[in-house]
Structure 1
Amino acid sequence: MEKNSLNNLEINSVNLEINEDIISSLKTEIYKRNGFKYNSNVVTVPNYFYRFIGIKNSEKEYYENLYRLDKELRKVGPSYIRFSEGLNKDISIRLQNVLNDIWIKVFSAEVIDVSLIINLISDNGFFPQIESKVLLRQIENNLKGLIEYYIKSNELINNDDIKLIVNYNMHWLYTYSKELFEKFDYTRINPKIIFYGDISKAEVFYLILLSTLGCDILYFNPENSGTFKEIDKFNSFSREIVYNVKAEIKPFPSNMDDRIKTTAFSAKEELDKTLYTDDCGFYRPWQFADYNVEAVTLNTTYEEIYIWIKEKANLREGFNVKGSTVVIPNIFSKICGIHENIDIYWKEINGVITQKFTKFYNELPIMDVVHLEYGKFDQVYPDNVFSKFNTTEMINSSWWKYKDLRSGLQRNMAEKIKDLCLNPIIKNVEHEDLRDLQVDIFSVLINLDKKILELLQSFDYPEEVPKIVIYNNEENGKLSFEDCIMLSFMDSMGVDIIIYNPSGYNDIENFIDPEQYDIHRLENISFKLHFKKNSDKKKGFFKNLFNS
């Protein structure tokens, strides 16, 4: 069946059991989920609707996991929405006026006629303007069914209750449907919602409606169950997981992530005692050559850059070996401006660029413009609903340029290329279709130059960390889109990256997700400041004596 042809069918949503790896569950494409099927009329979309009440372990871990989940789902794009301060309740005056007229007609009868409500709303054109007429019709039918269910399951319901729920749901359908459903391919990635904190009955109703249309819904509340029981009293639409620990609702975490935050250097001696034990700290050369690489960017102060940049990987805070994976703490920092004492600035830069396995770039861009490799991308990731990104096919292809590199490195490179294509951290500045952006990224990463490859080939993971240092004074060219793709890739491979920009102008900010790197700002800025190589020589004994 051709791509998107299933979108002409009605959705039958089935609530799946979620596993411990929530992120993996949510990112699994629909056709790979248990229960996916279709016939000539209906496509069964397995989705998740879970309510997590309370805290499983520690509060710190709870909010770290929430932040990480949100961060991963943001990669889905506009079909993911997080609500942490409730839904938009600013109903337009025009909608309010039309709805008030509708309710006058509805409440004039002895019994509420739900069909009349839906028909009057439809006649006034207030259902969302979406391309799929089948989906639009299903939204109308599902809304009608849910209103009828709510009325029948609540004996003491009053007119104001129904009016409030319907008014808000019409507003939210009109507000959010386009971004949620516009690119919904019923076989691939379905729309996703995280709702955190207190929730009203109308908001519960809206989440239930979205779940019946195939959306994944996760509700988190560390304190209580909210108002779900008033709408879904029999857990007919959602599953609830309750933990024993309860805590007050705090603001949704805004700056936690899976990056390792260093302690002050005064704690480094204690760290060394931990590292140099019998079971870790000493490794054979190339012991981990065939291991997987997981780079975790250090979140440092400015001063700590010059401490950690000199350390081997296995002496850095956070280095670890987990099974067949080496966790490498690396640095990705941009330094804006200069010191008041310019000599200190030059000394710091020269101290970094003279280290082992360091590539220094003083002329930009680094990468040449590449030919877009649509054919090769289609070969490893065909554009159809059942395709997977085949890294083995890529490595074994005739056009793979990295065959001379060690095998374990090739495998790691292929996996990182796959990850950066499927989960781009590069900004879509041209607002391309996702596949076009993926081809942009892919085309750069299969055409890396020899100097970049030498850095990777020289990297014995527990030892000296290779480095890319860039000096950008706005006169020596500009960092390009292709450069930033390459830098993101090298960061994912555990390479240290430092960008010096004395003027403080944007460069990587234009193309790379800001959560991937740190920015440090010095006291002053300087425009068109040419790089100065350190030429200080040690003074002789007599020169020191007579110039003291």
Structure 2
Amino acid sequence: MFEHKKLRGLDDYFKELNARPEKGVYFYRICGYNEQVAEFIKRYYEAARTGGVIIEGRIPNPDNKNLAYFEEMMGMDFNMDLNFLTMKLKKWLPRMNDYQRNTVAGSIYNTLSELRRQGKNDNMLKNCYIKFMCWLYYKFERVTAQLGENKVPKILYEGDISNYELLLITVLSNAGCDVVLLEYNGDEGYLKADPQSQVSYKLDIAGLGAFPEGYCLRGMRDMQQAEASKQKLYGPAPKFSNCTNAWISGEQDHIAELKMPVSARGNDPKLFYNIYTRINGVWDKMTYLNDLYQMQLEIKNSGRRVVIVDEVIPLPTPDEINNVPRKYYNKPEQMIADLALQIRYGNNIELQRVMVKSFVDTMLDECKNESNNLNKLTNKAVYLICWLKRYMAQLFANWRMPEVACFIYMGGCRNENEAMFMRFISRLPVDVLILLPNLSAEKCCLTDKLLYEQNCVESLDVKKFPAENTQLQMATLAYHAERELDTLMYHDSGIYRNRQYSKANAVTLKTMYEEIAILWKEELKYRPNFSTVDDVVNMPVLFAKVSGVKDSDLEQYWGSIKQLLTPDTFLITQAPYISSDSYNEMKSYSTEFLKRGVLQRNVIKNHPSFRYGFLRDEIQDHILDKLQLLIDSRMIKGTFENGTEYTIVATIMNMNMDLVRKIQSFDFTKTNPKLIYINSGERMISLEDSIIVAFLNLVGFDVVFFVPTGYQSVEKHFNTVIMEEHQIGDYVYDLNVPDLRRFVVKKQPTSWRDRIFKRGK
């Protein structure tokens, strides 16, 4: 028989019998948790898996089939005799040698004898004997054949142990097994079976707390399997790894830490020491830009490589994406393993392994968010590899340990793909610096447990990193004071400075006819439903058709139109304004400008025939935004059906210069430009005219059609009703439009005396 010994350390469990401080076995129950216990359980689980027995939950009682087989093989006789037990074990468990058989038989006999002393009758002892024999055969035969060997077999029991289970496991422990009981719910259940803790010891080490919620062997096993799968994805492990931010003292500002020579950061040859930080705001408006400029000069002069990205990380180009071969994948691990093969760095295989490890870790983290969308996960992986290949040469040319490059991102992450890339390169030998000088701008969406942050109080509107001396512009104190005054005056105050906003959306108002003249000359900011949200203006605009002539009074009719002719009004008096047969140079380029329904903005802006390149950048973007919106909305009949989308592109790219100038002069909070279209005859408005007016409505123009005949006009080419129609009087035909710029409206008599005495004048 073996005695139960006390541990000097948890490692004693894994020592062979002849190497233990005292020859014996260990029987401990674990009721608390810490990192040391977690590692011990993993190690003990593996030992029990390979050389013992693991019980997860209760041991099932012998069922009818088990009992029938036992009766057939052994009979149902029972004698409270050691020789009887030895003989039965020899027949029931023939793999046991004499020593093992005698030891187990003696241990069972001692246990049954103790039960008899406690008052159990022979029938109860017989039932206990049969249960023990069945459990030994079906659950513990593996350990019975190892008893007494130098390598001690292990039993790991999870859960609240029952009285008979404890008795049998005690039998095996006395016969030469190490035992660990995992008690997630505390020790109370065990003490009901062994109130004096005579059979086992309770583990009592410093720092024990409650087991984590949901902790169990199955969960631990799943984690180990996942870790094993991850190791397969990694391939050979790199010989060095990252020490990110752990070396930072915290006493200096992060810029000073970034400039610190790599050799001064640490001396462990297995680690590269990098910094990964985000600085919100600026430490001093007067010196911020100069400090950044001097910082990047120092880094470059020290021989380190620097990559600077402003505002946004450019999306991978079609060519970059096509250079990443892909297959059909059934599961994320298959995709990650295949795409990891695309990461190649021939100059240093160890750096390549670091890249692969960071890629695998990053994508496995993304799997938690995109576990049900393999296509989206694949696209993210492709983006990651495209960006790595793009910047690899700049960051790692002729790289040698322990060199650390520097990646500076001015503006912060705008989307989850950029944030993913930051997490990826921060695990490489790269210092990552993210700058958000403007505290009122869009927040960086990056979250990462490794990320350090430095928060400054002051804010500065900076979009470009001062990478070159020619870009370095230093502001005076008065300039900063003026910008702060701007913030106070023009933020949520209802007061707007000239061209304060660069983005706007049109909201078409539904009005009465009489309201057109009232709203026509009002600035947009005074109109109903005007608003600004997230630096985007919502512009209330008019888009209407006026049919008929009120009271058939032509003089008043033309006079009412003349009153709408402001300096910002573009007047069309003859239909069609643009004939479908007219020559348009842009038709030959429209297929270059639009591909798969998306405007190719870079192609358009860099094309030698682009007619709007002289406009301000924000106006060019506004025009292209609304052109894309017009196409996406399928407002014009035939869009994506018969090639009308290319006609839309060609028409908008070839607008009249007077219209273009009105767009250029447009301030989204003030008086908007106008378009009046008079169609007094029976000629149809062309498709191109419909495209122009729909586009101008989206841009922010007030657009009104005057159709005295009441005929269908522009709506013929629209898929839906997008303008309000006002029927104001009788239809009048065959009218000639006068020169409205010179038209004079005769003053109408207003009293009965005027009507009598001024008649005929």
| TM-score (structure 2 length as normaliser) | 0.33
| TM-score (structure 1 length as normaliser) | 0.45
Higher relative contact order at CA 8 Å, sep ≥6: structure 1 or structure 2?
1
Report which of the two structures shows the higher radius of gyration computed on alpha carbons: 2
